[in-house]
Amino acid sequence: MAEPFQSRTPGSGEEGLLSKVTGRRARADTVRALETVLADAERICDVSGDRIAAVGDRHGIDLAAQLRTARRNLYRRFLEHCLDDYMLSDLEVEDLSHLKEVLHLSDPDVAHIQNRVSRDVYGAALETVLEDHRVDDEEKVFLKRLRADLDLSEFHASQMFEEGLRRAQQRTLDGTAIDSAFLAPGEEVVELEGSSRVGLGEAVQAVIDQASVSLPGLAWADVSEIRVRILDGRISQWRVRLRAGVGDPSEGQEQSGG
């Protein structure tokens, strides 16, 4: 069975007058039949153009001229399925090319679909990569390959990266608790928590790393609370809470009573 398609049962029951006049039932049954033909095939390339044309003939539909939106949607669904693993195999490229032909899709149709799907797929990959607000060498290679596979221009990919990074940073900032009691003019102060199973210093550094994303001009931090988890008489986890801010480091000390 060719995924992501499923065998569809044609509509049942008597047609109403409106359906007869507009031909909605015939169009709906044609779309269901098309998907069933695609679903029952081992591969998309196994579906002949004559078999697709026969579906339209059976329902009085000229598939070369009608149901353009439905035909585009079938192609889009298959393309999304192929890109679920962020890559296109040679067999998938062959199937996509064949599907374009049997569904009578034009080059502009396919280009439009591919552009939208490519942006969605690349955007989803960026969301995953940028969860930690960093891109390591392996992730750089992955994004470069994906951009090439999706035929995205470097300009558009760069725009999407910057926008994805801003969204990731904003999510981090939205997740912080801003203590307005310690806000000075032109200054931002946030309270954050972090943890580490290695040691106190690592826990503090984890918090500072997070705060630095939201506050690029981070200048000072005060540890306000230290807690530990104990397992079998030994510290198994360090947890810290600190207040971090932008501005003169001495101001942070004064605010904390230092």
Together in a domain, 67 and 24: yes
The residue behind tokens 């199973």 is 197
Domain membership flag for residue 12: no
Together in a domain, 113 and 145: yes
Burial readout 240-256 (b: 16 or more C-beta within 10 A, e: otherwise): bbbbbbbbeeebbeebb
Question: Which one of 145, 165, 185 terminates a domain?
Answer: 165
Q: Which domain holds residue 227?
A: 177-255
Domain membership flag for residue 85: yes
Whether the Cβ atoms of residue 226 and residue 175 lie closer than 8 Å to each other: no
> How do the pLDDT tens digits run along the chain, 258 residues long?
567 898 876 554 444 444 444 457 888 899 999 999 999 999 999 999 999 999 999 989 999 999 999 999 999 999 999 999 988 899 999 999 999 999 999 999 999 999 999 999 999 999 888 877 678 889 889 999 999 988 888 888 888 888 887 777 666 545 444 443 334 444 566 777 877 777 888 888 877 877 776 667 778 888 888 988 887 788 878 888 887 777 655 554 444 444
Together in a domain, 22 and 107: yes
Number of structural domains (the chain) is 2
Together in a domain, 49 and 140: yes
